[in-house]
Structure 1
Amino acid sequence: MTPVELLTTFIAAYLAQPSTAYWRAIEIAATLRYGLPDGLGLDLGCGDGILTDILLSGSGARRLVGVDLDPLEAEAAAKFSFYERVHVAPGNAIPEPDGAFDFVLANSVLEHIPDLDGTIAEVSRVLRSGGKFIFTVPAPAFHDNLRGPVAPGVSRKAYLETLDRRLAHFHYLSAPRWAEMTERNGLSLDACLGYLDRRETRRWETLSRVTGGLLYLAFGETKRPIEIQRSLGMRHLQNRARLPRPVALAMSKVIEFGASVDRNRGGWLDANSSSCLLVAGTKK
């Protein structure tokens, strides 16, 4: 699937989340470009399974076990037949035996986990020797690539702090820090590749500012985006309906105008300046 096809697919699936659809289209295109390993995989932070369903439509079928901390998300994910089972559990206490998996995938998950080191240790435990891991995560340059506040009197520091609270981002690790963390947990780092450039980051920011950002403000900056979506019935609708393909295609053309999702499809970005990293490696 091309990045443009992915964007249309994500817009159709994420009815009320155009900014998320835009980011995920670029991210999943990067994951498909790197390649998904074969064998039995653990989908760490599987969410409702919709993203993984789209990923597998591009990579081909895989056998998967899902794990997510949110019971409602896990319940939704369990409806997909590619999951052999779905656990409700934290990332640092996965109810699976040592060496159970050929690969572990964590797509835009690890930045949300406060106990990151414990989770990476658990990833190492459940991987077999020679097993692979693929993580997609925001990078330190994410903050630098944002345009920042548009409201007068708001400092950039306050803007970034509010954004991180809304997104529940706890970590922005550089490539050297990923190398250190994986190494001390018995994993070797094979690649740390950049995606999502400054223009794409700012397009995401604009979309997010007028959708999730406004809702977050309207709810007093106290509820997580997923809680807001549920209270408005958006999550229920998302798990049961899709936009017609022609409508989604028309929306995708508007959303990516001037910041095409396929502008970097031919390669990877500098890991020091890109907003996100694909971190991949092997269990020793």
Structure 2
Amino acid sequence: MSKAANIFIPTSNRLNSLKKCLDSLDRQSLKDFTILLAGMKDDEKIQKLVLSYKKLDIEYFIQSKSGLIGAANEALDRATCEIFVRIDDDTTMHPEWFRSMVEAFKRDIAVGGVTGPTIMNQAGLHSRDLTAVLENFKNSENWVLKLVYKIYNNYLYENKMYEVSTFLKSGVFTLGSNYKECLKIEKPLEVSNLEACNWSARTSLLKQIGGFDTIYIKGLGDYHEADAALKIQRLSYKLIFDPKVSLEHHVESGKVKKARPAPYHRIQNLLIFYFRFFRIANIDQLFRFLVNLTLQNTYYFLNFFRTGSVDQLGALFGTVVGLYRVIIKEDYRYSVAKQRVIFCSDANLETKVKFPSLKVKMVDTEELFKVYDHPSAVLFRALELKMMYESVKEYEFLGPSLDVGCGDGLISSMCFAGKFTYGVDNGEAKDVEEAIKNCRYEKIFLEGAEQMSLKDESVNFVFSNSVIEHIPDNDATLSEIYRVLKPGGYFLFTSPSAYFSEYLYVSQLLAQVKMNFLIPLYVKYRNKMLNHYHLYDHKSYAKKLEARGFKLVSYSYTITKEALNLWDKMGVLSFARRFFDHNANSKITSHYKQEINGLVSKGKNSKVRGADLLILCTK
């Protein structure tokens, strides 16, 4: 029978530290694990030590791939258990550490990763760049150093320095798990990071995201554990800090700095990680990140004068190269094949014979103002949903039903009377957690629409609201929808049309001032920002649908040129003002609310042209 977990321990042949680590694992109240011990080179003393533990299942191997990331991925390749754990060879675990970890996973199937306290003594804290510097600055008599500490504590850390396992807007991570005070936390917390030397995740999820990303170059590969944790979180799983999953980290002074990658690479790792997981939403966040980046460069620059080590100057060059990589080359992007994770609110769903039918209902624009804080979103959704009601209000769509790209489930719950049977979403936007929490579907499949888990001819109605255009392979998606739809079933969807780019406010403004050469650049930027891969007119969609066997029932264009013009104008104003005004959206909404209501009130379906398409077809 397979054990509960594989525990990966990379060792740099530190015999005394490793013995203490294995001793603590031998004292665990639950030993339902296999240890994957990765050595950098064959060591007879390590082999003898491993053989001395009769009650521990230890697999000792010499890594063939370079660096810590290579060793971690080799261990993952060998892993066969449900949970994958990663600790250091200089850690010692509390006797209930492993049992508490397993229980944390068992409590909730939505838990993807578990971490806990990584207590360090003063010598260990002083061996780390950040903790040592901050401690020295805090206790310094020099007012400049005290000021730098206050900038870190009050501004970059938002006075949250000693919270546990959390990334903040500036890109720094909190330090609380390293201090004994975190042991006083009474119950598990949901967090946004897993501590590197007390790291555990479901093995299937870790393999699904492709293991530990080798983009984090050189040495210890800063951020690769955090990267994996946040990728798992983006699959709509929880990361949990459990105070009972406690260990002590006995860092050997001086060895950490030697193992760390050079500043040239560390800065690049920071930039890739930040751009990958943090969306800069306003000027406040931008400044916090820039201050963080500047202070890190300053630290390495001062280190150059203090130590004479030329590689400390690499931070500046690393910053330039890193910014080029994330802004121009977009190296931070990644893709993950979504796992078919199912959240079910009805255990007997598959045995049901009768499913509720759905009828579209009118959505009040005032309700949308309450739901969306962005005026552009209100305008687009209000017109789209009004036109959909006008077009299909006479239809009653039989169940089972499917919402493709369901997200938080808000749109389908607002515009249909009745509950959808299934939701499908790839989880990238993370708002699907709201759908799960509010039980807006009987079942949610966390996967891409290009290859769905649903059986052939299993649903009578498929709905998709402004999703098709975001899927790179929408041909595969349309084929999948046809596959799962029963004969006679309906497919109703909306999508921005081929005329969307033409009606943009900025495009027309540039044309008026005779700067037409800039229009293609703006259009490309706007569509890229919105992740628009495909924009078609009704004729092109009809051909694509008919090629797969669908029959077009009706179509209409729902957003007028005037409406999209205002939509883009408000979007530009919001983008420009949000950097210096946190209330920009509410002010823009107040200013344009009457105009929005007027456009919605007079909105009509069109058969000729428009910025958005509504299509109903049948199989």
User: Does TM-score exceed 0.5, indicating one fold?
Assistant: yes
Shift in Å, 1:209: 1.1
Structure 1 residue aligned with 2:487, among 129, 132, 142? Answer: 129
Q: What is aligned with 1:42?
A: 402
CA–CA distance in 2 between the matches of 1:148 and 1:204? 11
CA–CA distance in 1 between the matches of 2:439 and 2:389? 21
8 Å CA contact retained: 2:555, 2:607: no
Shift in Å, 1:184: 1.5
Q: What is aligned with 1:281?
A: 617
Shift in Å, 1:46: 0.6
Q: What is aligned with 1:225?
A: none
CA–CA distance in 2 between the matches of 1:189 and 1:126? 18
Structure 1 residues 260 and 48: alpha-carbon distance in aligned structure 2, compared to 1, 3 A threshold: same
SS of equivalent residue, structure 1 residue 78: helix
8 Å CA contact retained: 1:192, 1:280: yes
Identity, % of aligned pairs?
26
CA–CA distance in 1 between the matches of 2:575 and 2:443? 31
- Could you list the per-position Cα deviations for residues 67-101 of structure 1 after superposition, in whole angstroms to 9, with x for gaps in the alignment? 11116222221233340011111111111111111
SS of equivalent residue, structure 2 residue 595: coil
Q: How does 1:77-226 map to 2 (within 5 A)?
A: 77-149=435-507, 155-212=518-575
Q: Structure 2 stretches of 5 or more lacking a match?
A: 1-360
Structure 1 residues 40 and 276: alpha-carbon distance in aligned structure 2, compared to 1, 3 A threshold: same
Structure 1 residues 213 and 104: alpha-carbon distance in aligned structure 2, compared to 1, 3 A threshold: farther
8 Å CA contact retained: 2:459, 2:485: yes
Structure 1 residue aligned with 2:605, among 249, 264, 268? Answer: 268
CA RMSD of aligned residues (A): 2.6
Structure 2 residue aligned with 1:67, among 414, 424, 433? Answer: 424
CA–CA distance in 2 between the matches of 1:155 and 1:117? 31
CA–CA distance in 2 between the matches of 1:10 and 1:181? 32
8 Å CA contact retained: 1:67, 1:74: no
Identify which of structures 1 and 2 has the higher relative contact order when contacts are C-alpha pairs closer than 8 Å and 6+ apart: 1
Shift in Å, 1:210: 1.7
SS of equivalent residue, structure 1 residue 141: coil
The residue identity in structure 2 corresponding to 1:179 is A
8 Å CA contact retained: 2:457, 2:486: yes
CA–CA distance in 1 between the matches of 2:576 and 2:591? 22
8 Å CA contact retained: 2:459, 2:486: yes
Shift in Å, 1:34: 2.2
SS of equivalent residue, structure 1 residue 51: helix
SS of equivalent residue, structure 2 residue 463: strand
Structure 1 residues 192 and 212: alpha-carbon distance in aligned structure 2, compared to 1, 3 A threshold: farther
Shift in Å, 1:252: 6.8
Q: What is aligned with 2:182?
A: none
8 Å CA contact retained: 1:74, 1:87: no
Structure 1 residues 19 and 123: alpha-carbon distance in aligned structure 2, compared to 1, 3 A threshold: same
Q: What is aligned with 1:221?
A: none
Shift in Å, 1:213: 6.6
Shift in Å, 1:125: 0.5
The residue identity in structure 2 corresponding to 1:66 is G
SS of equivalent residue, structure 2 residue 443: strand
The residue identity in structure 1 corresponding to 2:503 is N
CA–CA distance in 1 between the matches of 2:434 and 2:606? 34
CA–CA distance in 1 between the matches of 2:527 and 2:390? 28
Structure 1 residues 8 and 251: alpha-carbon distance in aligned structure 2, compared to 1, 3 A threshold: farther
SS of equivalent residue, structure 1 residue 211: helix
Structure 1 residue aligned with 2:381, among 24, 29, 45? Answer: 24
8 Å CA contact retained: 1:61, 1:82: no
Structure 1 residues 254 and 93: alpha-carbon distance in aligned structure 2, compared to 1, 3 A threshold: same
8 Å CA contact retained: 1:68, 1:87: yes
8 Å CA contact retained: 1:8, 1:252: no
8 Å CA contact retained: 2:362, 2:415: no
Q: Structure 1 stretches of 5 or more lacking a match?
A: 219-231, 233-246
Shift in Å, 1:161: 0.6
Structure 1 residues 111 and 185: alpha-carbon distance in aligned structure 2, compared to 1, 3 A threshold: same
TM-score by length of 1: 0.78
The residue identity in structure 1 corresponding to 2:411 is L
Shift in Å, 1:260: 2.1
Count of paired positions? 244
Structure 1 residues 102 and 2: alpha-carbon distance in aligned structure 2, compared to 1, 3 A threshold: closer
TM-score by length of 2: 0.37
SS of equivalent residue, structure 1 residue 54: helix
SS of equivalent residue, structure 1 residue 189: strand
2:595 counterpart of 1:257? yes
